[in-house]
Amino acid sequence: MTRDEIFATLSEYLQEMFEVPAESVTLEAKLFEDLDLDSIDAVDLVVRLQDLTGKKIKPEAFKTVRTVSDVVDRVHDLLTE
């Protein structure tokens, strides 16, 4: 899965799960400030990403995630391990 495909899937998840407007989902968008996610939303998103990758995501891996780009990078790293 390419970074572009990961971004497209993540964008769909954010729109579907949290009603984030499509135009708000950019690589630079901050999850908590710009997209208005909270810690519960972040957990829900991680669960969904685990389903996508088929791999367990360690909470530590997402502690430093702040932007959509960070999420794309972490998922890409998981898929290429």
**Residue 9, domain extent:** 3-80
Q: How many CB atoms lie within 10 A of CB 49?
A: 20
* DSSP H or E segment with residue 66: none
Q: Supply the CATH number for residue 11's domain.
A: 1.10.1200.10
- Is residue 68 scored above 90 in pLDDT? yes
Q: What is the C-alpha separation between 24 and 59, in angstroms, rounded?
A: 25
Confidence of residue 69 (pLDDT cuts 50, 70, 90): very high
Mean pLDDT over residues 1-30, rounded? 97
Number of domains in the chain: 1
Question: How do residues 23-65 score in pLDDT, each as one tens digit?
Answer: 999 999 999 999 999 989 998 999 999 999 998 888 777 888 9
